[in-house]
Amino acid sequence: MIIKDKFISRKNLKELKTVIFSAHFPWYFNKGVNYNNNKQPVDHFQFTHLFYNDITERINSKLYHAIEPIVEKIKPKKILRIKANLLTRTSEIIEHGFHIDFRKKCKTAIFYVNTNNGYTKFENNKVVKSVENRFVLFDSNIKHTGSTCTDQKRRIVINFNYIV
């Protein structure tokens, strides 16, 4: 696992946050958070935005330009999926269950858009806190779970699944 702070420039981060925090950014309601976890409570939900679609293998968003500095930095041979996740504040931290993003041999990366008391937990109990402009890279077969936060209105991360 690789953790890098201050992953993109301040200018690129500001541009990304201007886009993603805009009242006009298209978030889509998902009635579940982790579809690999059948034990997930029915009241778990999130909002997502699909930047790159693994089924059609093409850019899926007119706002893709906002994440290009991250894509340019990771230099993927092939993108499988890029998806932003927004979890709303909860009264207590909720974890959504361990899962893997892809069964294919690839990398999973999480880019943390904002700082909050949410986190990503891995099956080995390692916890990575949600810190703005942090980038975490790991093999896609490593089980992990995300959480909500209690100290901000929303927790936003962008998941990248790609082949190096």
CATH code of the domain in which 120 resides:
2.60.120.620
- Whether 102 maps to a domain, the answer reads yes
- Whether 49 maps to a domain, the answer reads yes
Q: Judge contact between 50 and 62, C-beta under 8 A.
A: no
Q: Which has the closest alpha carbon to 85: 35, 9, 20, 41?
A: 20
- Whether 128 maps to a domain, the answer reads yes
- Whether 29 maps to a domain, the answer reads no
Check residue 37 and give its pLDDT.
Answer: 47
Average pLDDT over all residues of the chain? 92
Q: For residue 38, how many C-alpha atoms fall within 13 Å in the half-sphere facing its CB?
A: 0
Which one is predicted more confidently, 39 or 162?
A: 162
Q: What is the 3-state secondary structure (H, E, C) of 4-61?
A: ECCCCCHHHHHHHHHHHCCCCCCCEEECCCCCCCCCCCCCCCEEEEEEEECCCCEECC
- Whether 100 maps to a domain, the answer reads yes
Which residues make Cβ contacts (< 8 Å) with residue 31, sequence separation at least 6? 42, 45
- Whether 74 maps to a domain, the answer reads yes
Quick check: pTM over 0.85?
yes
Between strands 107-112 and 154-163, the pairing is antiparallel
Please write the tens of the pLDDT for every residue from 18-64. Answer: 999 999 999 999 876 665 545 544 467 899 999 999 889 999 999 99
Give residue 115's domain range. 2-20+43-163
- Whether 37 maps to a domain, the answer reads no
Mean pLDDT of 68-80: 97
Where residue 104 falls among pLDDT bands split at 50, 70, 90?
confident
Structural domain count of the chain: 1
Tally Cβ neighbours within 10 Å of residue 38.
Answer: 8
- Whether 114 maps to a domain, the answer reads yes
| The dihedral formed by the CA atoms of 63, 45, 2 and 18, expressed in degrees to the nearest 10 | 30
